[in-house]
Amino acid sequence: MKIALISGTSGMVGMQLLHQLLQSSEHEFVLSVGRRKLALKHGKLIQIEGDLARIGSWEWEEKVRAESLGGAYHSVLSAISGKTAEIHAFSCLGTTIKVAGSKEKFYAIDHDLVIAFASWAKKLGAAKFLYVSSMSANASSSVFYSKVKGETEADLKAIQFDYLGLFRPSLLLGNRHEFRLGEQIAAIVMKPLVWLKLAKNIRPIYDYQVAKAMVTTANQSKTNQTEIVTSGQMQDLTQ
């Protein structure tokens, strides 16, 4: 049994990724974790909610059982507890300093929650972890955002998954919940690169392309490696 674990489904890429996983014939079940449940029901989708900062101490089996009408998810619990499931974990967690309210709160989401989810996924037996990072990720950067993304990547490496995919998209195109003036201007200026298919590593990329690239990569035979997937490589995977 192949099971997907996913966090960050309320964001641009996360919503697209959830849609891709639910449509995928490869993953039999999708276990989504978050602060609250989405207004979405699907035969493959199991949603459990709680404080992600404390996910390591969740009674997650009880949460799953509470969602299981007539024991529908007994096979999922058995496969995970019996270590017979192939588990792929996907993290699309992320925010901005403006939305978070401070650098400290931003770090708590973009670093701490990602690492907490990854550690929990590893404990459950996840062999692969695929993370939406940033094109500018660099733990030595003087730019706080880039530095946090780089530190998160470094700490994910320390967890030692069989496969770690660090997806570094350029400017994302899609439907955001919040308005970001700077990104809107950049998208307008750079969108001709998309039309002309130029500079694929720096031109904007659509949220669904990132999501599709993540699912495609998860289903490939990749082990014993950490891989940085550039924006251009993501576009190549979705052609």
Which of 149, 206, 208, 212 is labelled catalytic? 149
Residue pair 111/99 in contact by the 8 Å Cβ criterion: no
Which of 145, 191, 200, 222 is labelled catalytic? 145
Using CA atoms, how far apart are residues 179 and 193, in angstroms rounded to an integer?
22
Token couple for 205: 């990329």
Using CA atoms, how far apart are residues 13 and 210, in angstroms rounded to an integer?
7
Task: Give catalytic status of residue 145 as yes or no.
Answer: yes
Catalytic residue numbers, as ranges: 145, 149
